[in-house]
Structure 1
Amino acid sequence: METVSVDFFENNAPLVVPYLSQDFTEALKERIRNQSRLSMVRADADASFSGRITGYTINPTAVQGNDRAGLNRLTITVSVKYTNTATPSLNFEESFSRFKDFSTNAGPIQSQEQQLIKDINAMLTEDIFNRAFANW
Protein backbone atom coordinates (compact mmCIF):
# COMPACT_ATOMS: atom_id res chain seq x y z
CA MET A 1 0.00 0.00 0.00
CA GLU A 2 1.38 3.37 -1.03
CA THR A 3 -1.49 5.85 -1.33
CA VAL A 4 -4.53 6.90 0.67
CA SER A 5 -7.41 9.31 0.13
CA VAL A 6 -9.65 11.00 2.68
CA ASP A 7 -12.99 12.34 1.48
CA PHE A 8 -14.61 15.35 3.12
CA PHE A 9 -16.70 14.26 6.13
CA GLU A 10 -20.02 16.11 5.97
CA ASN A 11 -21.71 17.08 9.21
CA ASN A 12 -25.12 15.38 9.31
CA ALA A 13 -25.50 15.74 13.08
CA PRO A 14 -28.71 17.41 14.30
CA LEU A 15 -26.60 20.08 16.04
CA VAL A 16 -24.27 21.59 13.46
CA VAL A 17 -20.99 23.33 14.27
CA PRO A 18 -19.87 25.12 11.07
CA TYR A 19 -16.16 24.23 11.26
CA LEU A 20 -16.49 20.65 12.58
CA SER A 21 -16.44 18.92 9.17
CA GLN A 22 -13.31 20.73 8.04
CA ASP A 23 -11.55 20.25 11.39
CA PHE A 24 -12.29 16.52 11.54
CA THR A 25 -11.32 15.85 7.92
CA GLU A 26 -8.03 17.72 8.34
CA ALA A 27 -7.31 15.96 11.66
CA LEU A 28 -7.71 12.55 9.99
CA LYS A 29 -5.43 13.54 7.10
CA GLU A 30 -2.86 14.90 9.56
CA ARG A 31 -2.95 11.67 11.62
CA ILE A 32 -2.30 9.58 8.50
CA ARG A 33 0.49 11.90 7.29
CA ASN A 34 2.21 11.87 10.70
CA GLN A 35 1.89 8.18 11.49
CA SER A 36 2.36 6.49 8.13
CA ARG A 37 4.42 6.71 4.99
CA LEU A 38 1.37 6.75 2.75
CA SER A 39 1.04 9.47 0.13
CA MET A 40 -2.18 11.48 0.22
CA VAL A 41 -4.00 11.49 -3.14
CA ARG A 42 -7.44 12.70 -4.25
CA ALA A 43 -8.58 9.60 -6.19
CA ASP A 44 -7.59 6.05 -7.15
CA ALA A 45 -5.88 5.40 -3.82
CA ASP A 46 -4.85 2.03 -2.43
CA ALA A 47 -6.96 2.84 0.64
CA SER A 48 -9.69 5.39 1.16
CA PHE A 49 -11.73 6.87 3.98
CA SER A 50 -15.19 8.36 3.59
CA GLY A 51 -18.08 9.01 5.90
CA ARG A 52 -19.99 11.62 7.82
CA ILE A 53 -20.36 13.13 11.24
CA THR A 54 -23.58 11.69 12.62
CA GLY A 55 -23.64 12.96 16.19
CA TYR A 56 -22.73 16.07 18.16
CA THR A 57 -24.36 16.22 21.57
CA ILE A 58 -23.89 18.07 24.83
CA ASN A 59 -25.43 16.40 27.88
CA PRO A 60 -25.13 17.00 31.63
CA THR A 61 -23.16 14.30 33.47
CA ALA A 62 -23.11 15.66 37.03
CA VAL A 63 -25.79 17.81 38.62
CA GLN A 64 -25.02 20.30 41.33
CA GLY A 65 -27.38 22.49 43.37
CA ASN A 66 -30.23 24.43 41.74
CA ASP A 67 -30.61 21.74 39.04
CA ARG A 68 -27.54 23.03 37.22
CA ALA A 69 -25.03 20.78 35.50
CA GLY A 70 -21.71 20.67 37.31
CA LEU A 71 -20.17 18.74 34.44
CA ASN A 72 -21.25 18.41 30.83
CA ARG A 73 -20.20 15.91 28.20
CA LEU A 74 -19.55 16.74 24.56
CA THR A 75 -19.84 13.62 22.40
CA ILE A 76 -18.99 13.39 18.70
CA THR A 77 -19.90 10.35 16.59
CA VAL A 78 -18.47 9.67 13.14
CA SER A 79 -19.56 7.02 10.65
CA VAL A 80 -16.53 5.80 8.67
CA LYS A 81 -16.19 3.63 5.59
CA TYR A 82 -12.68 2.32 4.99
CA THR A 83 -11.83 0.65 1.69
CA ASN A 84 -8.54 -1.19 1.19
CA THR A 85 -8.14 -2.21 -2.46
CA ALA A 86 -5.01 -4.27 -1.73
CA THR A 87 -6.62 -6.33 1.05
CA PRO A 88 -10.43 -6.15 0.85
CA SER A 89 -10.80 -8.33 3.95
CA LEU A 90 -9.65 -5.29 5.98
CA ASN A 91 -12.52 -3.10 4.72
CA PHE A 92 -14.94 -1.83 7.35
CA GLU A 93 -17.89 0.46 7.83
CA GLU A 94 -18.59 1.44 11.43
CA SER A 95 -19.25 4.27 13.82
CA PHE A 96 -16.71 5.75 16.22
CA SER A 97 -17.72 7.85 19.19
CA ARG A 98 -15.64 9.78 21.72
CA PHE A 99 -16.45 12.33 24.40
CA LYS A 100 -14.87 14.87 26.68
CA ASP A 101 -16.30 16.24 29.92
CA PHE A 102 -16.14 19.94 30.71
CA SER A 103 -17.31 22.32 33.38
CA THR A 104 -19.23 25.50 32.71
CA ASN A 105 -17.35 26.96 35.70
CA ALA A 106 -14.43 27.35 33.27
CA GLY A 107 -16.62 29.51 31.03
CA PRO A 108 -19.48 28.99 28.59
CA ILE A 109 -19.34 26.14 26.07
CA GLN A 110 -18.59 28.61 23.28
CA SER A 111 -15.27 29.55 24.90
CA GLN A 112 -14.26 25.88 25.34
CA GLU A 113 -15.83 24.29 22.27
CA GLN A 114 -12.93 24.62 19.81
CA GLN A 115 -10.43 22.99 22.21
CA LEU A 116 -12.91 20.25 23.14
CA ILE A 117 -13.47 19.46 19.45
CA LYS A 118 -9.71 19.37 18.85
CA ASP A 119 -9.23 16.95 21.76
CA ILE A 120 -12.10 14.69 20.67
CA ASN A 121 -10.90 14.72 17.04
CA ALA A 122 -7.48 13.52 18.26
CA MET A 123 -9.11 10.57 20.04
CA LEU A 124 -11.40 9.73 17.11
CA THR A 125 -8.65 9.86 14.51
CA GLU A 126 -6.43 7.65 16.66
CA ASP A 127 -9.23 5.06 16.92
CA ILE A 128 -9.90 5.20 13.17
CA PHE A 129 -6.20 5.02 12.25
CA ASN A 130 -5.65 2.05 14.57
CA ARG A 131 -8.73 0.25 13.26
CA ALA A 132 -7.57 0.69 9.66
CA PHE A 133 -3.84 0.12 10.00
CA ALA A 134 -3.15 -1.77 13.23
CA ASN A 135 -5.73 -4.54 12.65
CA TRP A 136 -7.20 -4.62 16.15
Structure 2
Amino acid sequence: MKLKLAVVALCAAVLTGCGVAINYSLSGASIPPDAKTFSVAYFPNNAPMVSPILSSTLTESLVDIFSRRTRLTQVEEGGDFAFEGEIVNYVSTTASVSSSEQAVLNRLTITVKVRFTNALDEKASWNRTFSAFADYDTNILLTEAEGTLIPEIVDQLVTDIFQASASNW
Protein backbone atom coordinates (compact mmCIF):
# COMPACT_ATOMS: atom_id res chain seq x y z
CA MET A 1 0.00 0.00 0.00
CA LYS A 2 2.82 2.39 0.86
CA LEU A 3 4.48 1.58 -2.48
CA LYS A 4 1.28 2.44 -4.42
CA LEU A 5 0.94 5.68 -2.48
CA ALA A 6 4.57 6.57 -3.19
CA VAL A 7 4.14 5.88 -6.94
CA VAL A 8 0.98 8.01 -7.11
CA ALA A 9 2.69 10.83 -5.21
CA LEU A 10 5.73 10.66 -7.50
CA CYS A 11 3.54 10.73 -10.63
CA ALA A 12 1.58 13.70 -9.29
CA ALA A 13 4.79 15.56 -8.48
CA VAL A 14 6.23 14.93 -11.94
CA LEU A 15 3.05 15.98 -13.73
CA THR A 16 2.46 19.16 -11.73
CA GLY A 17 6.11 20.10 -11.30
CA CYS A 18 6.80 20.36 -14.99
CA GLY A 19 7.12 24.04 -15.91
CA VAL A 20 6.40 23.61 -19.62
CA ALA A 21 3.59 25.80 -20.96
CA ILE A 22 1.64 24.11 -23.74
CA ASN A 23 -1.07 25.96 -25.61
CA TYR A 24 -3.62 23.82 -27.40
CA SER A 25 -6.21 25.20 -29.76
CA LEU A 26 -8.92 23.61 -31.87
CA SER A 27 -8.27 26.19 -34.59
CA GLY A 28 -4.67 25.12 -35.06
CA ALA A 29 -3.42 28.48 -33.80
CA SER A 30 -0.29 28.57 -31.72
CA ILE A 31 -0.28 32.12 -30.38
CA PRO A 32 2.42 33.11 -27.88
CA PRO A 33 0.93 33.87 -24.43
CA ASP A 34 2.41 37.41 -24.53
CA ALA A 35 0.55 38.30 -27.74
CA LYS A 36 -2.55 40.34 -26.95
CA THR A 37 -3.45 42.29 -30.11
CA PHE A 38 -3.56 42.14 -33.89
CA SER A 39 -3.98 44.78 -36.58
CA VAL A 40 -4.94 44.53 -40.23
CA ALA A 41 -4.27 47.44 -42.60
CA TYR A 42 -6.55 47.91 -45.60
CA PHE A 43 -5.38 45.78 -48.56
CA PRO A 44 -5.59 47.97 -51.69
CA ASN A 45 -6.26 46.35 -55.05
CA ASN A 46 -3.22 47.18 -57.19
CA ALA A 47 -3.92 44.47 -59.76
CA PRO A 48 -4.28 45.43 -63.43
CA MET A 49 -7.91 44.22 -63.31
CA VAL A 50 -9.96 45.38 -60.31
CA SER A 51 -13.09 44.13 -58.58
CA PRO A 52 -14.80 46.78 -56.44
CA ILE A 53 -15.59 44.37 -53.56
CA LEU A 54 -12.27 42.53 -53.37
CA SER A 55 -10.22 44.85 -51.11
CA SER A 56 -12.90 45.20 -48.46
CA THR A 57 -13.81 41.49 -48.60
CA LEU A 58 -10.19 40.42 -48.09
CA THR A 59 -9.49 42.92 -45.31
CA GLU A 60 -12.70 42.12 -43.41
CA SER A 61 -12.19 38.36 -43.79
CA LEU A 62 -8.67 38.57 -42.35
CA VAL A 63 -9.98 40.54 -39.36
CA ASP A 64 -12.81 38.04 -38.95
CA ILE A 65 -10.64 34.92 -38.90
CA PHE A 66 -8.36 36.34 -36.19
CA SER A 67 -11.32 37.58 -34.16
CA ARG A 68 -13.04 34.19 -34.28
CA ARG A 69 -10.08 31.83 -33.98
CA THR A 70 -7.81 33.58 -31.48
CA ARG A 71 -8.03 35.40 -28.19
CA LEU A 72 -6.29 38.44 -29.70
CA THR A 73 -7.97 41.84 -29.61
CA GLN A 74 -8.08 43.96 -32.75
CA VAL A 75 -6.38 47.38 -32.68
CA GLU A 76 -6.22 49.98 -35.45
CA GLU A 77 -2.46 49.67 -36.01
CA GLY A 78 0.69 48.34 -34.39
CA GLY A 79 -0.72 45.05 -33.09
CA ASP A 80 1.50 42.32 -31.70
CA PHE A 81 0.54 40.54 -34.93
CA ALA A 82 0.33 43.14 -37.73
CA PHE A 83 -0.75 42.54 -41.31
CA GLU A 84 -0.42 44.79 -44.32
CA GLY A 85 -0.21 44.17 -48.00
CA GLU A 86 -1.83 44.51 -51.38
CA ILE A 87 -3.73 42.59 -54.00
CA VAL A 88 -1.29 42.24 -56.89
CA ASN A 89 -3.19 40.05 -59.33
CA TYR A 90 -6.81 39.41 -60.23
CA VAL A 91 -7.05 37.51 -63.47
CA SER A 92 -9.42 35.22 -65.35
CA THR A 93 -7.89 32.61 -67.65
CA THR A 94 -8.99 29.48 -69.47
CA ALA A 95 -8.75 26.51 -67.12
CA SER A 96 -10.05 23.65 -69.26
CA VAL A 97 -10.81 22.98 -72.90
CA SER A 98 -12.99 20.33 -74.52
CA SER A 99 -11.87 17.79 -77.09
CA SER A 100 -13.00 20.24 -79.78
CA GLU A 101 -10.61 22.80 -78.25
CA GLN A 102 -13.36 25.05 -76.91
CA ALA A 103 -13.01 26.51 -73.45
CA VAL A 104 -15.33 24.86 -70.93
CA LEU A 105 -13.98 26.33 -67.68
CA ASN A 106 -12.44 29.63 -66.76
CA ARG A 107 -10.31 30.20 -63.67
CA LEU A 108 -10.30 33.30 -61.50
CA THR A 109 -6.98 33.66 -59.67
CA ILE A 110 -6.27 36.19 -56.92
CA THR A 111 -2.75 36.89 -55.68
CA VAL A 112 -1.95 38.85 -52.52
CA LYS A 113 1.36 40.10 -51.12
CA VAL A 114 1.32 40.08 -47.31
CA ARG A 115 3.75 41.60 -44.84
CA PHE A 116 3.35 40.01 -41.42
CA THR A 117 5.09 41.57 -38.44
CA ASN A 118 5.33 39.66 -35.18
CA ALA A 119 6.27 42.41 -32.72
CA LEU A 120 7.16 39.86 -30.04
CA ASP A 121 9.45 37.70 -32.18
CA GLU A 122 10.96 39.46 -35.20
CA LYS A 123 12.30 36.13 -36.54
CA ALA A 124 8.69 35.00 -37.01
CA SER A 125 7.90 38.00 -39.27
CA TRP A 126 7.71 37.44 -43.01
CA ASN A 127 6.84 38.79 -46.47
CA ARG A 128 4.99 36.27 -48.63
CA THR A 129 2.80 36.00 -51.67
CA PHE A 130 -0.40 33.94 -51.48
CA SER A 131 -2.47 32.84 -54.44
CA ALA A 132 -5.77 30.98 -54.73
CA PHE A 133 -8.27 30.28 -57.49
CA ALA A 134 -11.72 28.97 -58.35
CA ASP A 135 -13.11 27.72 -61.64
CA TYR A 136 -16.35 28.78 -63.30
CA ASP A 137 -18.30 27.86 -66.42
CA THR A 138 -17.40 29.73 -69.60
CA ASN A 139 -21.11 30.36 -70.23
CA ILE A 140 -21.13 32.71 -67.23
CA LEU A 141 -19.61 36.18 -67.36
CA LEU A 142 -16.96 36.95 -64.75
CA THR A 143 -19.07 39.85 -63.48
CA GLU A 144 -21.90 37.37 -62.80
CA ALA A 145 -19.64 34.80 -61.11
CA GLU A 146 -17.64 37.22 -58.91
CA GLY A 147 -20.21 37.32 -56.14
CA THR A 148 -19.70 33.59 -55.52
CA LEU A 149 -16.05 33.22 -56.54
CA ILE A 150 -14.51 36.08 -54.55
CA PRO A 151 -15.72 34.90 -51.10
CA GLU A 152 -14.61 31.34 -51.92
CA ILE A 153 -11.12 32.42 -53.03
CA VAL A 154 -10.73 34.95 -50.21
CA ASP A 155 -11.66 32.25 -47.68
CA GLN A 156 -8.77 30.10 -48.94
CA LEU A 157 -6.38 33.06 -48.93
CA VAL A 158 -7.14 34.13 -45.36
CA THR A 159 -6.95 30.51 -44.16
CA ASP A 160 -3.47 30.25 -45.71
CA ILE A 161 -2.42 33.59 -44.19
CA PHE A 162 -3.79 32.58 -40.79
CA GLN A 163 -1.94 29.27 -40.85
CA ALA A 164 1.31 30.91 -41.95
CA SER A 165 1.20 33.46 -39.14
CA ALA A 166 -0.50 31.68 -36.25
CA SER A 167 0.46 28.04 -36.61
CA ASN A 168 3.61 26.32 -35.49
CA TRP A 169 3.84 23.72 -38.27
TM-score (norm 1): 0.93
How far apart, CA to CA, are the structure 1 residues paired with 2:44 and 2:103?
30
1:134 aligned partner, one-letter code: S
Structure 2 residue corresponding to 1:34, chosen from 38, 49, 68: 68
Tell me, what secondary structure is at the counterpart of 2:66? Answer: helix
How far apart, CA to CA, are the structure 1 residues paired with 2:78 and 2:87?
23
Report the CA distance between 1:67 and its aligned residue.
5.1
Structure 2 residue corresponding to 1:63, chosen from 97, 115, 135: 97
Report the CA distance between 1:68 and its aligned residue.
3.5
Range with bigger deviation, 63-72 or 115-124: 63-72
Structure 2 residue corresponding to 1:16, chosen from 50, 56, 66: 50
Report the CA distance between 1:44 and its aligned residue.
2.9
Q: List alignment gaps of at least 5 residues for structure 1.
A: none
Judge conservation of contact 2:97–2:104 (CA < 8 Å) in 1. Answer: yes
Report the CA distance between 1:111 and its aligned residue.
1.7
2:107 is matched with 73
Tell me, what secondary structure is at the counterpart of 1:15? Answer: coil
Report the CA distance between 1:109 and its aligned residue.
2.0
Judge conservation of contact 2:40–2:77 (CA < 8 Å) in 1. Answer: no
The CA RMSD measured in Å over matched residues stands at 1.4
Write out aligned runs for 1:1-136 (5 A). 1-64=35-98, 68-105=102-139, 107-136=140-169
How far apart, CA to CA, are the structure 2 residues paired with 1:128 and 1:44?
18
Report the CA distance between 1:65 and its aligned residue.
6.7
Report the CA distance between 1:87 and its aligned residue.
1.0
Q: List alignment gaps of at least 5 residues for structure 2.
A: 1-34
Tell me, what secondary structure is at the counterpart of 2:92? Answer: strand
Tell me, what secondary structure is at the counterpart of 1:18? Answer: coil
* Structure having the higher Rg: 2
Which structure has more strand as a fraction of its residues? 1
How far apart, CA to CA, are the structure 2 residues paired with 1:112 and 1:81?
29
TM-score (norm 2): 0.76
